[in-house]
A = this chain, B = another copy of it.
Amino acid sequence: MPMATSTYHHGDLPSALRAATVELITERGPTGFSLREVARRAGVSHAAPAHHFGTSKGLLTSVAAEGFRTLVEAFDAAVEGRHDPIDRLNAMGKAYVNTALNHPGHFGVMCTDELIDQSDAAFVEASTGAYQRLLDGITAIRDAHNPNLDVDAAATMTWSAVHGYAVLHSALPGVAEKNERVLATMEETMNSFTQMMMDGYRAR
């Protein structure tokens, strides 16, 4: 019997279920997720989650929203004390990849459109906040370096590149290795990304 912390029987079952979900996905991947196993780990019956989250989609959506909130925190912490726009965007990119790699349980469901309900209010608020940080960062670069920069296109490419890198992070080494290529570390790669996004492929 855990000491009931605040609310009711269990204390805070929704949070416990989210935590168990994250733990489970971290261990076994999004595929290995099972509502009943989550209930088991939280010490409740197999139908308890349904009472709080409806279907399993509801639980995963809640986890995804939590993930976006931690991402926003990581963004804010990363730019803390930095003033150069390029430096800030670089830090945000690293924060994104680090968050993705350090929170695979969250990240694995954050950007899927069939595991979660993208129209969920809490999810929309959290994900919108993250996107807004990115737009702000790129707008600052536009103002400082290039008034003609298409902020939306740049935001799409930046998010895509960083997200794609995080997604492919486990797949790329294998493929590169077969082509007898050695890939740089995440830090170095992200620095290269930043430089290329500023200067492009062409020699300046």
Contacts and interface: CB of A to CB of B under 8 A. Distances in A.
A131 B164 contact: no
Contacts of A7: none
Nearest to A170: B113
A161 B157 contact: yes
A203 interface: yes
A70 interface: no
A83 interface: no
B163 A167 contact: yes
B152 A184 contact: yes
Contact of A157 (B30, B119, B132, B193): B193
Nearest to A192: B153
A184 B154 CA distance: 11
Given A127-B175, A131-B176, A167-B111, A183 B152 contact: yes
Nearest to A203: B146
B203 A145 contact: yes
Given A114-B31, A159-B168, A200 B198 contact: yes
Interface string A115-132: 100110000100110011
Interface string A183-199: 11000110011001111
Interface in A84-132: 111, 113-115, 118-119, 124, 127-128, 131-132
Contacts of A154: 192, 196, 201
Given A131-B178, A156-B165, A160-B162, 20 more contacts: A30-B114, A31-B114, A113-B170, A113-B171, A124-B174, A124-B178, A131-B179, A138-B201, A146-B201, A147-B203, A150-B192, A153-B196, A156-B168, A156-B183, A156-B189, A159-B164, A159-B168, A160-B165, A163-B168, A198-B202
